[in-house]
Structure 1
Amino acid sequence: MFTSINPATGEAGDSFAELTADEVETRVQRAHDAFQSWRTTDYATRTALLSAIADQFDANRQRLAEIAVREMGKTLKSSLAEVEKCAVGFRHYAQEGPDMLASRAIATATGKATARWLPMGPVLAVMPWNFPYWQVVRFLAPTIMAGNVGLLKHASSVQGVAAAIEEMVIAAGAPAGLFQNLAIKSDKVDALIADDRIVAVTLTGSEGAGMKVAEAAGRALKKVVLELGGSDPFIVMPSADLDQAVKTAVTARIQNTGQSCICAKRMIVHADIYDEFLAKFTAGMAAVKAGDPMSADTDMGPLSSEEQRQTVLDQIAMIEKEGAKLILGGEKLPGKGAYMSAGILVDVPVDHAVAKEELFGPVAMVFRAADIDAAIALANDVPFGLGSSVWTNDPAEREQFERYIEAGMTAVNQMLASSPEAPFGGIKRSGHGRELGPYGLHEFMNLKTVAG
């Protein structure tokens, strides 16, 4: 049994029954059967369904958003934005998908060939709680367009969201088995990956979860896409618009209460502007209002659970023990709910392991860099390589950042964010493979060469 806990109040919400082994078997077979017919559909049928699902998300956006607020503490404003982004994602693949799947003519030394993108089968998605709708849609929209079918193992804490997504797909007129929610626990995932009817797996989550899924996929010789943690740098140079950089840095650190893989977690600031940046950034973080996620004037809600808050508090304590200074916030707030204040750590020892960890909460580490080379070296001195944000108006500096920051994504003079059009993913211990754009669509397809 899964029971939702409202992190703003600590109160129990809806409960959901865990599927039995027989029920899981029925759904996997249903997915296998659904693929046999869905793979033969024309693009017009697929795009029509994607558009219809988008319509369902739009029509039910308030109810869907409120489920996310209750289950993981996201503010209503950000929950509504997430649901609306999902509709945009479905419509993007409805509009652009056919062109992405167009065959390509290839000239060869012996004549000609054609490259065709063909569906593969049921794809298993193991998804996290932090963006409970959008993470799923990033896999689901291209899965439908590709002619594949999807099975979802969502986080235990957001089973209401998982059920609602399945409801939207069914209401849009999807054939039985095209997309199904599997209300199961993590210990059932290995067996699913080993099942011959499932052709691939995609996971967004922690390093530990990624290693387990990758190991299981390796044993089964199946394709896997992993989007794991990040400790994204936010680099500010003297040529940047400092006020805009500071304003964006605050948002980039506290969005989703700091619980995003691509949140800006390490502020790396050139020595010439470090003091000014820190003063303005401190004022901005001090003004962040934590409170009722349903309230329009709340900047950030609670963390997703008491356990998640304690993890962040423990990390702060370890960093302080190694000599860092907590100059603002980063503390448990009184009263009900998993609330904490936005915080800032300085004088963090760069060579200590805890400084290289991902802080999955609204606390920033601020570092001083002597020059651009030092800033890039510090940015790269972590095991992660997901995203990054750089602030400069110097073309030569921009080129250096684009070429030498070790990350799957770099945003220049803006906050990093995902979009349906652009590939999303990382390198190093942040995972491999890509979601979104044409590249995400192609990840779980058979690129077949036809000669002649």
Structure 2
Amino acid sequence: MEASIQDYEEGLRACAEAAKIWMQVPAPKRGEIVRQIGEALRAKLQYLGRLVSLEMGKILPEGIGEVQEIIDMCDYAVGLSRQLNGSVIPSERPNHMMLEVWNPLGIVGVITAFNFPCAVLGWNACIALVGLMVQQNVNRRFGKCLLELSGNNAIIVMDDADIQLAVRSVLFAAVGTAGQRCTTCRRLLLHETIYHTVLDRLVEVYQQVKIGDPLEKGTLLGPLHTPTSKENFVKGIQAIKEQGGKFLFGGSVVESEGNFVQPAIVEISSNAPTLNEAIEINNSVPQGLSSSIFTRRPEVIFKWIGPHGSDCGIVNVNIPTNGAEIGGAFGGEKATGGGREAGSDSWKQYMRRATWCHQYFLLIVA
């Protein structure tokens, strides 16, 4: 069913009326309602996970995991409802107290993405295709927007890395959700001493990927979301061929009903980069969402997470680019939008900050 502009306006009016009441409810009591939502989701976890898989095409463990993620987010928010703390700021004036308090922002509109139809609602993400338009329109009325957009995520594998761990992580990061995550690994940068070893093992594990019914046990790769997605896949493969990319594996459409394709490994350049070159390549794209490096050396790790390392919002070490936990702030820099959602202090995005100065001892002047 497709809603109309009138439906939208009526819904917005109803939200505005409800917000007047909702904002008067103490935060811990609002947290209790969120807890009940989480419990209701927990009771139907398996069924809802199956629905997510049917709707999106992701494999069943991912569908269940997505519902579990919003349950975890509810649990997190319950605790947070008692932690919306402000600050006490020393005043330079005698007999004055200065405080910083946080109040609910009001109605929040969410444009969410197809790839996580359940979990991202809990995060309040916006999709990349309308991100710039959203920002421009909201800025015209001096509104506030939170943009979590696309990524062009890289994994760097150094010479001292655990090769087996790195290969499994690249597979999960590139093939998980049929490559339709904002945190999907799209680029792989390998040190020259392990270059061919990693590629050979990666081809081996790609050959073992089971493609098929996402509800069937053992399936690792379900269909793309829509026929248009499959068409875009074919166009992308053709563009890679025209640009001289060397296919090491895959890249074809599976001849069957549905939007099934074979994941591809493409070699763009065999010139293995140094650490500094790899970091420069990682940072060279417009987006700045997620990144990962595989190494055991502390000096490399601290450079990677420091000011001269990755410029992404998510900077991982020895884990894939995807699979972020809810406790940390999720989001990225540059064309990714700069917004943060989920954990850490992301709750401030949905609140209105107010500085309160109070003179508590009044001087009576005759």
Same fold per superposition (TM over 0.5): yes
User: Which residue matches 1:378?
Assistant: 281
User: Which residue matches 1:320?
Assistant: 241
Matched-pair identity in %: 26
Q: Is the 8 A contact 2:53 2:62 kept in 1?
A: no
CA deviation after TM superposition for structure 1 residue 18, in Å? 1.8
Q: Is the 8 A contact 1:408 1:427 kept in 2?
A: yes
Q: Is the 8 A contact 1:270 1:368 kept in 2?
A: no
Q: Is the 8 A contact 1:230 1:386 kept in 2?
A: yes
User: Which residue matches 1:278?
Assistant: 199
| Larger-Rg structure | 2
Read off the aligned partner of 2:356 and give its amino acid letter: V
Q: Is the 8 A contact 1:238 1:272 kept in 2?
A: yes
Q: Larger deviation: 63-72 or 24-33? A: 63-72
Read off the aligned partner of 1:82 and give its amino acid letter: E
Q: Where do 5+ consecutive residues of structure 1 fail to align? A: 1-16, 140-202, 349-366
User: Which residue matches 2:13?
Assistant: 29
Read off the aligned partner of 2:340 and give its amino acid letter: R
1:331-358 superposed Cα distances (whole Å, 9 cap, x missing partner): 100110000112100025xxxxxxxxxx
Corresponding position: 1:408 with 2:320:
no
Q: How does 1:27-426 map to 2 (within 5 A)?
A: 27-99=11-83, 101-110=84-93, 112-139=97-124, 203-206=125-128, 208-348=129-269, 368-403=271-306, 404-416=309-321, 417-426=323-332
1:394-432 superposed Cα distances (whole Å, 9 cap, x missing partner): 111111111221101111111232222110101111112
CA deviation after TM superposition for structure 1 residue 368, in Å? 4.7
How far, CA to CA, are the matches of 1:204 and 1:277 in structure 2?
35
Read off the aligned partner of 1:264 and give its amino acid letter: C
How far, CA to CA, are the matches of 2:144 and 2:324 in structure 1?
23
How far, CA to CA, are the matches of 2:296 and 2:92 in structure 1?
47
How far, CA to CA, are the matches of 1:91 and 1:118 in structure 2?
21
Q: Is the 8 A contact 2:189 2:273 kept in 1?
A: no
Q: Is the 8 A contact 1:237 1:270 kept in 2?
A: yes
Q: Normalising by structure 2, report the TM-score.
A: 0.93
1:153-208 superposed Cα distances (whole Å, 9 cap, x missing partner): xxxxxxxxxxxxxxxxxxxxxxxxxxxxxxxxxxxxxxxxxxxxxxxxxx4222x3
How far, CA to CA, are the matches of 1:108 and 1:395 in structure 2?
43
1:256-303 superposed Cα distances (whole Å, 9 cap, x missing partner): 111001111111111111111111111111211110011011001001
How far, CA to CA, are the matches of 2:261 and 2:201 in structure 1?
21
Q: Normalising by structure 1, report the TM-score.
A: 0.76
Q: Is the 8 A contact 2:190 2:272 kept in 1?
A: yes
How far, CA to CA, are the matches of 1:332 and 1:205 in structure 2?
26
In proportion to residue count, which structure has more strand? 1
Read off the aligned partner of 1:422 and give its amino acid letter: G
How far, CA to CA, are the matches of 1:19 and 1:344 in structure 2?
41
- The change in CA–CA distance for 1:419 and 1:370 in structure 2 (over 3 A counts) is closer
User: Which residue matches 1:442?
Assistant: 348
Q: Larger deviation: 308-317 or 32-41? A: 308-317
CA deviation after TM superposition for structure 1 residue 34, in Å? 0.6
1:39-70 superposed Cα distances (whole Å, 9 cap, x missing partner): 01112211111110001111122222222222
How far, CA to CA, are the matches of 2:268 and 2:13 in structure 1?
56
User: Any idea what SS the aligned residue of 2:147 has?
Assistant: strand
How far, CA to CA, are the matches of 2:188 and 2:349 in structure 1?
33
CA deviation after TM superposition for structure 1 residue 37, in Å? 0.7
How far, CA to CA, are the matches of 1:212 and 1:344 in structure 2?
34
Q: Is the 8 A contact 1:249 1:264 kept in 2?
A: yes
